[in-house]
Amino acid sequence: MPDLTPPLANVVRPAGRLVLGIETSCDETAAAVVARGADGRGTVLSSVVRSQWEQHRPYGGVVPEIAARAHVECLDEIIATALTDAGVGFRDLSAVAATAGPGLIGGLLVGLTAAKAIALVRGLPLIAVNHLEAHALTTGLTENLQPPYVLLLVSGGHTQLLLIEDVGRYVRLGTTIDDALGEAFDKTAKLLGLPQPGGPSVEQAARNGNPARFPLPRPMLGRPEPHFSFAGLKTAVRLAAQAAAPLDDQAIADLCASFEQAVVDAVVDRTRTALRLARARTNGADVLVVAGGVAANQRLRAGLTNLATREGVRLSIPPIALCTDNAAMVAWAGAEHLVRNETSSLDFAARARWPLDANATPIIGSGRLGTKA
Ligand code: KG4
Ligand code: ZN
């Protein structure tokens, strides 16, 4: 890879530490350069994300081998673009950070190995980043928000409620026992013949639908621990669709709206429980942060906005491009560890499973990324 450092005379170097981030844990290949000022504030200098969705589309889901190969084929170019867009070269960097888990192991190996090679050749510190931690710390980058806060992470691969006590101190309050929420949207779309990714198509169809037409279950409602379950809801949608067949456009819209409303009711209930548990543990958990692709859903946002008002907490949702998988969040998590002198050795191993809270009881489940972290 060429040294992309522009001629020195033309460069206005951003103050602080520059970290290159690399993300390859699922079906997005991403690289980004983020600056962390001495005041702890972050700036995204570049963020390049390339989705592999078209390569997986014929198979109806992410194929791990195709994902790993696609990362190999474009990662060099994506890194080069991220450096060029930021107007910096390798020699300007303070560190290189890469997602080392949880995720699909082939993809993780590609990104982490690239980061190790850059670190070795350029004499830079390496920071192996936990993907969930990267999501969890994003609001530090976007609005300088400091812990403690409660994080609701809802994506295609993960559904978790975490208490972020501090950088490096995470308590898992709840997780899914089966499907991730984004996965439930995707499977519902598939069942109703709507295009993938399913979240946006279910949301679009639901706009013209009646959320009260189909009585669907609200899984785990009222349980004392804020865990999630979406497999039963998916089955209920299938049974309702079979009973109402043949489905016209209105029936599909009503099913989508009913599904979305059931999801929102369940997620709001589980999040309320998590907020109350968090408050019992800390004095300051009065902020709710939402991340992951499903955070784009308007009905969910409205439900969480109401919840936040009722519970007297502030709701913070990063811009959607930083809610979905990206490498700026990885670079930022890397920067947070770098300033704490927490770097990784070059033999750090990628890991498919990497729970943020090592003390959390394992909950058996399976999903798009395999067993839930
Ligand atoms: O965080 P993300 O971009 O990627 C990973 O899961 O890694 O999340 C993608 C998920 C998909 O399941 C997609 O269907 C869902 O987020 N999603 C949505 C919406 N936009 C994306 N779900 C519901 N409503 C949406 N508007
Ligand atoms: Zn993610």
Atom of ligand 1 nearest to the CA of 25: 7
Distance in Å, CA 131 to ligand 2 centroid: 6
Q: Is the CB of 200 under 6 A from ligand 1?
A: yes
| Candidate from 275-289, 334-348, 356-370 with smallest mean pLDDT | 356-370
Confidence at residue 7, expressed as pLDDT on a 0 to 100 scale: 40
Confidence at residue 205, expressed as pLDDT on a 0 to 100 scale: 98
pLDDT tens digit string along 134-187? 999 999 999 999 999 999 999 998 999 999 999 999 999 999 999 999 999 999
Sequence length of the chain is 373
Residue 365 above 70 pLDDT? Answer: no
Q: Which ligand is nearest to the CA of 205?
A: 1
Atom of ligand 1 nearest to the CA of 181: 12
Confidence at residue 9, expressed as pLDDT on a 0 to 100 scale: 37
| Candidate from 85-89, 123-127, 194-198 with smallest mean pLDDT | 194-198
Q: 38: buried, middle or exposed (CB in 10 Å: 19+, 13-18, 0-12)?
A: exposed
Q: Is the CB of 260 under 6 A from ligand 1?
A: no
Q: Is the CB of 326 under 6 A from ligand 1?
A: no
Atom of ligand 1 nearest to the CA of 296: 26
CA 327/CA 34 separation, integer angstroms: 9
Name the closest-CA residue to atom 8, ligand 1. Answer: 293
Percent of the chain having pLDDT more than 90? 84
Q: Is the CB of 203 under 6 A from ligand 1?
A: yes
CA 116/CA 28 separation, integer angstroms: 20
Q: Is the CB of 102 under 6 A from ligand 1?
A: no
Q: Give the confidence band of 369 by pLDDT, cuts at 50, 70, 90.
A: very low
Contact 166, 147 (CB under 8 A): yes
Confidence at residue 370, expressed as pLDDT on a 0 to 100 scale: 42
Confidence at residue 364, expressed as pLDDT on a 0 to 100 scale: 55
Residue 372 above 50 pLDDT? Answer: no
Q: Which ligand is nearest to the CA of 295?
A: 1
Q: How many CA atoms lie within 13 A of 307 on its CB side?
A: 27
Distance in Å, CA 181 to ligand 1 centroid: 8
Confidence at residue 3, expressed as pLDDT on a 0 to 100 scale: 45
Under DSSP, is residue 129 helix (H, G, I), strand (E, B) or coil?
strand
**What's the mean pLDDT in 84-100?**
98
Confidence at residue 352, expressed as pLDDT on a 0 to 100 scale: 95
pLDDT tens digit string along 22-57? 999 998 999 999 999 999 999 999 999 998 888 888
Displacement of CA 17 from its chain's centroid (Å): 24
Q: Is the CB of 106 under 6 A from ligand 1?
A: no
Q: 280: buried, middle or exposed (CB in 10 Å: 19+, 13-18, 0-12)?
A: exposed
Q: Is the CB of 175 under 6 A from ligand 1?
A: no
Q: Which ligand is nearest to the CA of 132?
A: 2
Taking alpha carbons only, the member of 92, 96, 84 closest to residue 120 is: 96
Residue 298 above 90 pLDDT? Answer: yes
Q: Is the CB of 61 under 6 A from ligand 1?
A: no
Distance in Å, CA 182 to ligand 1 centroid: 5
Beta-ladder partners of 241: none
Distance in Å, CA 38 to ligand 1 centroid: 34
Distance in Å, CA 244 to ligand 2 centroid: 35
Cα–Cα distances (Å) from 270 to 69, 115, 137, 169, 180, in that order, read 38, 38, 21, 22, 14
Structure tokens at 37: 């000022």
Residue 306 above 50 pLDDT? Answer: yes
Q: Is the CB of 292 under 6 A from ligand 1?
A: yes
The structural domains of the chain, ordered by start, are 17-138+323-371 (3.30.420.40), 147-320 (3.30.420.40)
Which runs of E-coded beta strand occur in the chain?
17-23, 28-36, 42-51, 95-101, 126-130, 149-154, 159-166, 169-175, 287-291, 314-316
Under DSSP, is residue 47 helix (H, G, I), strand (E, B) or coil?
strand
Structure tokens at 141: 């980058």
Contact 199, 193 (CB under 8 A): no
Confidence at residue 322, expressed as pLDDT on a 0 to 100 scale: 95
Determine the residue of 26, 29, 185 to mutate for testing ligand 1's pocket, defined as the one with the most ligand atoms within 8 A of the Cβ atom.
185
Q: Which ligand is nearest to the CA of 296?
A: 1
Confidence at residue 53, expressed as pLDDT on a 0 to 100 scale: 82
Confidence at residue 361, expressed as pLDDT on a 0 to 100 scale: 73
pLDDT tens digit string along 228-254? 999 999 999 999 999 999 999 999 999
Distance in Å, CA 370 to ligand 1 centroid: 17
Angle at 357 between CA 355 and CA 358, to 5 degrees: 80
Angle at 143 between CA 197 and CA 10, to 5 degrees: 95
Distance in Å, CA 11 to ligand 2 centroid: 33
Name the closest-CA residue to atom 23, ligand 1. Answer: 199
Taking alpha carbons only, the member of 289, 368, 276 closest to residue 323 is: 289
Distance in Å, CA 150 to ligand 1 centroid: 20
Q: Check the CA dihedral 31-37-39-43 and report its sign.
A: negative
